[in-house]
Every structure is written in structure tokens, then in C-alpha cells.
Structure 1
Amino acid sequence: MTSQADKSVDAIILAGSRPEADALATRYAVTVKALVPVAGKAMLARVAQALGSHRAISKIRILAQDYKPFRRHPDTAPLAEDDTIEFVESAATIALSIDRVLQNEATTYPMLITTADNVLLDASMISDFVEAARGTDIAIAVVEKSVLLRRYPESKRTWLKLRGGHFSGANLFCFGSVRARELLGYWAEVEQDRKKGWKLLTIFGPMLLFLAITRILTVDQLATRIGKKLGLTIRVVRMTQAEACIDVDKEDDLGLAEKILRERSAQAGT
């Protein structure tokens, strides 16, 4: 398993800003959310470190509208000097930004995609997800509600309710082949409503939406149906780590993330 994974996966970190002002960035007086400090270190620096130190990850591309703030910040300035990291100017939307990277002749697969606010990302999550994503066109990480609430009952997430469980996205995606670009057109249609899981289903037709909202389909059956519609192999990866779906969107998330990071530090003796 280790030898198969060694430096075989490129990664994208989405570190851009939405058009509206971000409350956390304003609260902590930084120009972009990716620079908000979490346990004393900028979000982006944490995610880049987790990816860069993992045996499977080869090249990292950081997508943002303006990378100058990262070059000026002490936590993220070293990233610009790292030969394995490339800053890429993003397009008008996330979907267009990713598609621009995938169109590049230098792009190799599989390509792992995550976000700068996925600050609890660690080696075990990366290893589990990369291994589970093998052989797919698209893999999507999720955490089941019971897994999260067993560990962190105070955490509030947005849940997609299907037969057999409620699921929250874990901000980890894998594009296993260039064919995954087929999904990006649909992504572009719904990314402004990213908290409304049902909105994605409306664009695949009323029957699929009906089957989902009436909880006739399991999450795996839903992925299979969408995959058939697009001609893709899509796999939903259930993450065993509750922390995988805890990103930092608001102050409560930040407090919980810092608590978890302090506990990790104490366990590691650092």
C-alpha cells in the first residue's frame, strides 16, 4: 500500500475568497479567510503542511484570486519558496478554476482537492481517502452523522439525509481521470448554494431528486445513479475520522478546531 501511494497524487488547495466579506477574516483582520489563525498558525499553512508532509502527495497547487497576501504573511511566505508548491490564479468560480488546472497538459491524476479551511486534515485522513479513491473517476469524502456526534456532539453541520444515514461533506475530493471534468459543469451551477445538498440533485432530473428526498436511495446508490448519468465511476468514501467534516466556517468551528489541535499536540508531546 505504501509503495503504491508514494508521491503518486497531486493536490489542489482552494484558498480563494467569495464575493461577500468573510466574517472570520474581518474578525481577525486578515485580507482572506485562508490567513485566519487557528491555534497560532494560518489555515492555509496548516493544510499545506499536512499535504506536503504526506508520502502520497507530489505537487500542490494553491488556487486563489490573489496570492500576494500569502507571500507577505509569515506563515505562508515559505510556501512560495517550495518547489513542490505552485500558486495559481483562480477564475471566477471554483469549478472554472479547477477546470483550468485539469486542462493543463502538465496535470496528472489522481488529483486530490481540498480547502484551506480543512485545518484538521491529517495523514490518516489523506491515506484512507487516497486508498479508497483508487480506480474511480471521482471520489467524494463524507462523514456519517453518528460518527461525528459520537465524538463531537456540539458540532453543527449541514446534513444530506438519505436512506441508511445522514451525511456531511468532508471537503475532500479526488479526480481520478480527466473524465472527471464532466462533473464540473454541474458543480458550477450549484456552488453558490453549497450548503443546500439537495440543490445538486435538482440538475440531474426530478426522478433522482424524488428518490433522494424520499430516502429511497442510499448514498452509494445515489452516487451510482449520478455516475451512470455522467458516464463516470463515482465513489462515496465514508471517513472514519469524525474530524474530517469539521472545517472552519464560523467562530464556533474555530474554537472546536483549536481544542482538537491542542489535544493532538498534548498527545504528541509537542
Structure 2
Amino acid sequence: MTKPINALILAGSRGGVDPVAAYAGVAHKALILLDGQTLLARVAQALRDAGATHIAVSVSEDTVRAAASALGLTVLTAASGPSRSVRDGIEALGTPLVVTTADHALLQPEWITRFLADAPADADVAALLARQDVIESAAPGTRRTYLRFADGAWSGCNLFHFATPRAVAALDLWAQVEADRKRPWRIVRRLGLGTLLRYMSGRLTLVAAIAHLGRLAGLNAAAVSTPFGLAAVDVDKPADLDLVRDLIARR
């Protein structure tokens, strides 16, 4: 990072029993131990090593709250969903703000610094994404949710940069995308008829789609492509945890 920046780690709960936490035998997946560190500690360390000077964590459970405090993180109470929690994080920390998740188990400082370096200077908000071929080369057999565009199939990397105060406008759109995260066609439908037709005919690129979504929200939005396929691997299901443990063991 060229200058100090604040960061927010999302570690809330969607309610009910988390299958990954249950599989690992812990109260919350942020507390899963990997190579002697909790996932929360690993993510916080990666952010610090990338230059973040103030890190907050959005939590909904006391066990995670205690762990975050022990790590010297600022603790914020998680809202009803990630977009609302990010809004609260921006209110508390301001912009620019890097946002990631506590289950980003393999997060590396160079992924963060490369992302920020590659993000367009005029972008109010940027999201990191990886192409399917890049992901499958780094983690053969992993299953991700992909958005398919003219320039390939893409998966999100749970890393965002809210660069300016205008980026708050993206959060209402994010709330809508949250509801449709497993139904990509509904996300694309929000682009409008003309853009939807371009998507269906295979002529819409990811960059164009994200830029158009940004215009709908009244800001400059950018999709940033990462060369690091493992950046798309988070711990959403037990199979992901097995994969991550195997990758760590092989290192």
C-alpha cells in the first residue's frame, strides 16, 4: 500500500448452525484453527502485513468478539447483512476502506497490494475477481459460483476497496446482489434489457457489466482481475476447509 489504509473484516453470522463451524467443532468458523492460527488471526495478519494500520471486525457472537479484542482489533456489532455491516464500517472508519471476510483463509498481503495497485485511480469502489481458468489452475477440483461473460467465467474473491465516500451508494445494490448471490442470472437482469440481451448473446464483458452497475448506482465501479487463483477460495463449506488444510499442509 502506498499510504496507510483502514480495513474491515466481516465475521458476522447468518443465523442457525454454520456447517463449516460444526464440521470443525468450533462455535464460529472465524475461530477455526489453521496452521496454529484462527482464520480471523490469519486474515488480520495479512491485512497488517499489507499495510493496514486500523483494522475493525464486524461480529455477532461473543466468542468472536473476545477473539477479535485479543488480537487488538476494533470490534463492531454486525448488522443484519454484509452490506449493512460495511455501511456501519464506513461510518466508523471512513474511506478508503478495504473489506474482506474472516473465512478468507489463504489471504496473502501481495494479493491485497496488487489489487489496490491495479484498481483504477478514479474508481469509487472496486471488487477483486478471478477467472475460472486461473482458479482451477491454482486449485483443481474446487467448486465456485461463477458469473459467465464474454471474457470468461469469473468468481468473486471477497476483497473490496471502498475508495471514496461515494462508494456508499454501492451498498444498496450490494444488498440486492446478496439476495441473489446463488442466482447469477437475476444479478445480470438488474443491468437492464439492452445489457441483458448483450449478456445472453455472449457479448457482455465483466468489466462492462461492473461499470454499468456502477453507473446505475451513480458512481465509478471497477472489476479488478487477479492472477492469484487461490484468492477466490474462501471457506464456505466443509470441502473448502479440507482443500485449504491440504494446501497449507503441502506448503
Does TM-score exceed 0.5, indicating one fold?
A: yes
* 1:268 matched residue in structure 2: none
CA contact (8 A) 1:63 1:90 kept: yes
**2:80 aligned to which of 84, 92, 103:** 92
* 2:53 matched residue in structure 1: 58
Task: Tell me the number of residue pairs that the alignment of Structure 1 and Structure 2 aligns.
Answer: 250
* 2:148 matched residue in structure 1: 161
Separation (CA, whole Å) in 2 of partners of 1:263 and 1:241: 17
CA contact (8 A) 2:125 2:162 kept: yes
TM-score normalised over the length of structure 2: 0.91
What letter matches 1:51 in structure 2?
A: L
CA-based RMSD: 1.9
What letter matches 1:98 in structure 2?
A: V
What letter matches 2:138 in structure 1?
A: R
In structure 1, the residue corresponding to 2:6 is in which secondary structure?
strand
Aligned pairs (5 A) from 1:163-202: 163-202=150-189
Stretches of 4+ aligned residues off by more than 6 angstroms: none
Separation (CA, whole Å) in 2 of partners of 1:99 and 1:222: 23
Where in structure 1 are there 5+ consecutive unaligned residues?
Answer: 265-270
CA contact (8 A) 1:16 1:34 kept: no
**1:46 aligned to which of 31, 42, 52:** 42
* 1:27 matched residue in structure 2: 23
**1:112 aligned to which of 93, 98, 101:** 98
Separation (CA, whole Å) in 1 of partners of 2:167 and 2:204: 23
Separation (CA, whole Å) in 1 of partners of 2:76 and 2:212: 34
Is 1:69 matched with 2:63? Answer: yes
Is 1:230 matched with 2:224? Answer: no
Separation (CA, whole Å) in 1 of partners of 2:63 and 2:250: 30
**2:90 aligned to which of 102, 113, 118:** 102
In the TM superposition, residue 64 of structure 1 has moved relative to its aligned partner by 1.3
CA contact (8 A) 2:7 2:54 kept: yes
**Aligned-pair identity (%):** 32
CA contact (8 A) 2:20 2:235 kept: no
CA contact (8 A) 1:15 1:115 kept: yes
**Residues 257 and 227 of structure 1: CA distance in aligned 2, closer, same or farther (over 3 Å):** same
In the TM superposition, residue 111 of structure 1 has moved relative to its aligned partner by 0.8
Which moves more between the two structures, 222-231 or 89-98? 222-231
CA contact (8 A) 2:10 2:57 kept: yes
In the TM superposition, residue 77 of structure 1 has moved relative to its aligned partner by 5.5
**Residues 259 and 219 of structure 1: CA distance in aligned 2, closer, same or farther (over 3 Å):** same
Separation (CA, whole Å) in 1 of partners of 2:205 and 2:177: 22
CA contact (8 A) 2:30 2:102 kept: yes
Is 1:144 matched with 2:131? Answer: yes
- CA deviations over 1:233-256 (Å, ceiling 9, x no partner): 111111001110011111221122
CA contact (8 A) 2:50 2:110 kept: no
**Residues 64 and 72 of structure 1: CA distance in aligned 2, closer, same or farther (over 3 Å):** closer
Where in structure 2 are there 5+ consecutive unaligned residues?
Answer: none
What letter matches 2:28 in structure 1?
A: V
- CA deviations over 1:122-167 (Å, ceiling 9, x no partner): 0110110111224310111011111112232211111110002110
Is 1:78 matched with 2:70? Answer: yes
**Residues 64 and 206 of structure 1: CA distance in aligned 2, closer, same or farther (over 3 Å):** farther
* 1:125 matched residue in structure 2: 111
